[in-house]
Amino acid sequence: MKTLHRLLTLVLVLSLWGLLSSTLTVRPVNSQTVPAILLDGFTPQASVSERSREEQFRAAPDANSAREHLRRLTAEPHVAGTKEDYATAVYVRDQIRSYGIPAELKEYDVLLPYPRQPSIVEIVGRRRERLSVKEVIVPEDPTSSSPKIIPLFNGYSPSGDVTALLVYVNYGLPPDYEALKKLGVDVKGKIVLARYGNSFRGVKAKVAEENGAIGLIIYSDPADDGYMQGDVYPKGPWRPESSAQRGSVQYLFQYPGDPLTPGKPAIPGVARLKIEEATDLTRIPVQPISYGDARRLLEPMRGPVRPRGFQGGLPFAYHVGGTDDLRVHLKTEMDYQIRKIWNVVARIEGNGERDRWVIMGNHRDAWTFGAVDPNSGTTAMLEAARGFGQLLKNGWKPRRTIVLCSWDGEEYGLIGSTEWAEEYADELREKAVAYLNMDAAVSGANFGASSVPSLWKLIRGATRDIRDPKTGKSVYQQWQDRSRESLPEPELTDAQTGSDVNIAEARIGALGSGSDYTPFLQHLGISSLDMGFGGDYGVYHSAYDSFHWMTRFGDPTFAYHVAAAQLWGTVAMRLADADGLPFDYVDYGAQINEFFTESVKTAKRRNLSAAFDEKGMSDAIEEFSREAGRVEKSRQETVLEVGRKRVEANDRYRGAEVRLKRINDALLATERALTDVRGLRGRPWYRHQIYAPGFYTGYAAQPLPDFRQAIEDRSTANAKEALDRIVAAMKRATEVLRKTRD
């Protein structure tokens, strides 16, 4: 069998050579025209062996094994810093070790609050009416009765005890407060009731505080996250009446990680801020409640009928309140301590380029059981590790080092990943190839991804080689088909010709924040991606994000856990083994151009465009794109030359390997060059000039962040300064690419 395999390989390689030689003489190779058997960045012979190795790898992940991992990981609630959390760290470490991969715990001492006791939310009037603020036991779901489930609370809410009138502020974003002002409703000195959605919850806390509110209650409205989406748990996958969404209200758009050690690792010997000095913490008590409880607050509200856009899915007309009819008491009692958290870091040393690291990361801590968020990802990581282990046993050594990270404390504010990234910042800046994140890897069957544009082709390529369990098509095909179905007709076909040839591919999103790629991309400038399989997921951060939910709705056969492991591992292997790194900065240039065009449109509408040098930026983008195109062409040619050199031992290709190394180094350094050590305006921790979470979105990216924010703020001075910095970053990046020239 082995001999036959080698023979076939030889035939294949030889025929590919024929194909490529002809291609090469006619015109530059371009990734679109390379035969499908070839892998971007691999020589023809390496493509063949890589494909064969990948197939071995993808055969390893197993549904039963995945099910068992998830069952073990979700057996108990494992909030960051608890002994149950520690037990999962040990489980992950030991599993990875058992696959033959060295793994260690890595500990940090960070500020973590737990609720000292359940919060109180009550209506104060002639008689007190206390809300339950508790998720009920679902008989079908065995873990839902666990006494260890942490009470409903928001991470980093301070302790507080306030009584005041209540105002309903819709999503709690600036335009909502403006709409209330138009109605003459002021929230100063009042408690505000906001619904989840349209932003990271920390943003709601910040905006409430800025507007003078003294407390914030956040609930899940059934229009956004409940029965209006579909049947509720346990009948369906959506959020039931008593369920509420836990979650951090850290101002992660300021900086993530341990609040007391911004920019530094939370290890012994590092000076800590006092809590009062931390600028990423809210000062007003914040508490999540269910829509069952929210109904009891909303229904008796008086005051004006809600403005347009404020109505939710409870069965009555919402009013905005603020009148004497409703006075509310909110009491949160938190236990703030420096506590230990435990990352697990495993490492498959590279053979050849061991100082180049391909990093896979997923967090492990959960608000409750975390079946979807995050342990579907942990399960995928363990299954991928098992696959790597088998390859290792068969003699494989990746060219580059693969690092597998199981982060702790993500839920509180990306703490484990941030502290680690801060501790090893210099080394990571030098060595990291890319950071590959999976958080909630599986809640359904719909693939989705966000990444820097240089990785788009890599993601698309890998999804072509993974089978979608439900349809039997490739993940790529199913992803495209779904995306096409959701397009309105006019976008489906070209208006001029009526043809449907030129349909854009499914969109790969921009990275904002809300998961562990943030320190890597936005603090250190490491190319990153985040991906997973989504679905109807209405138990986010609730007691029902459980093994039972997963087996009933999310992925009953665990086939998507297997697919997630296959995909993640495949991407990592391609980055670890490629001769020439498959990073395409032409896509990056085009994306920046799109971001810029959009921003300029807004700026023009607001009469701000005279303030900045549009042409300077357009020129910088064009220069960057041109250089990126040249490097891309050179990379592909050089990979082929390296291939020929290996086969023909021809002197002509002598410099090829050196040149390829120079290109590879530049491809890493280009992303780094897009960061600015001065950081973004008012938030120095965020250094990336293209991607950051928005101040008022929190999760969602605000591309060209400072420039966009300046336009939002109608500040011409800031717009000019921001764009100058972006242009400088573009020029640095262009320079890095240019240096690869002979």
By rule CB under 8 A, what string of x and - marks binding of each residue 229-268 to a copy of itself? xxxx---x-x------------------------------
Per-residue interface string for the shown chain with a copy of itself, residues 406-425, x marking contact by CB under 8 A = --------------------
Q: Examine residue 228 and tell whether it contacts a copy of itself (CB under 8 A).
A: yes
Please say which residue, 31 or 493, places its beta carbon nearer to a copy of itself: 493
Q: What is the pairing mode between strands 160-168 and 327-348?
A: antiparallel
Q: Is 227 in the site for a copy of itself (CB under 8 A)?
A: yes
Strand, coil or helix: what is 165? Answer: strand
Question: b/e per residue, 505-534, with b = 16+ CB within 10 A?
Answer: ebebebbbbbbbbbbbbbbbbbbbbbbbbb
- Beta bridge mates, 124: 327
Q: How many residues does the chain have?
A: 742
Q: Please identify, using beta-carbon distances, which residue of 9 and 311 lies nearer to a copy of itself.
A: 311
Distance CA 623, CA 212 (A): 47
Q: β-strand 353-363 against 327-348: which pairing, if any? A: unpaired
**Which residues have CB under 8 Å from 247's CB, separation 6+?**
154, 155, 201, 288, 367, 411, 541
- Does 496 interact with a copy of itself (rule: CB under 8 A)? yes
Work out whether 471 is an interface residue with a copy of itself (CB under 8 A). Answer: no
Which CB atom, from 471 or from 607, has the smaller least distance to a copy of itself?
607
Shortest distance in whole angstroms from residue 317 CB to a copy of itself: 5
Site for a copy of itself in 668-727 (CB under 8 A): none
Asked whether position 493 contacts a copy of itself by CB under 8 A, the answer is yes
| Site for a copy of itself contains 473 (CB under 8 A) | no
Q: How far is the CB of 319 from a copy of itself (least distance, A)?
A: 8
The nearest distance, CB 644 to a copy of itself, in angstroms, is: 47
How many residues bind a copy of itself (CB under 8 A)? The answer is 29
Q: In terms of CB distance, is 227 or 456 closer to a copy of itself?
A: 227
Which residues from 306-325 bind a copy of itself, rule CB under 8 A? 311, 313-317
Active site residue 735: no
Within 197-226, the residues that bind a copy of itself by CB under 8 A are 222
CA 511 vs CA 76, 671, 692, 698: distances in Å? 31, 14, 7, 11
| Closer CB to a copy of itself, 142 or 230, in the complex | 230
Instruction: In angstroms, give the least distance from the CB of 246 to a copy of itself.
Output: 24
User: What is the C-alpha separation between 8 and 14, in angstroms, rounded?
Assistant: 10
Contact by Cβ (8 Å): 456, 582: no
Euclidean distance between CA atoms 544 and 141, whole angstroms: 8
Q: Between 279 and 316, whose beta carbon lies closer to a copy of itself?
A: 316
Q: Please choose, from the candidates 729, 731, 645, 637, the residue with its C-alpha nearest in 3D space to the C-alpha of residue 680.
A: 729
Which residue type does 321 have? Answer: G
Catalytic residue among 410, 419, 623, 712: 410
Contact range with a copy of itself by CB under 8 A, out of 69-77, 185-193, 198-206, 227-235: 227-235
Site pattern 598..627 for a copy of itself (x: CB under 8 A): ---x--xxxx-x------------------
| DSSP 8-state secondary structure symbol assigned to residue 294 | H
Backbone angles phi, psi at 155, to 5 degrees: -60, 130
Report d(CA 382, CA 506) in Å as an integer. 29
Residues catalogued as catalytic = 410
Q: What does the binding site for a copy of itself look like in residue numbers (CB under 8 A)?
A: 222, 227-232, 236, 238, 305, 311, 313-317, 489-490, 493, 495-498, 601, 604-607, 609
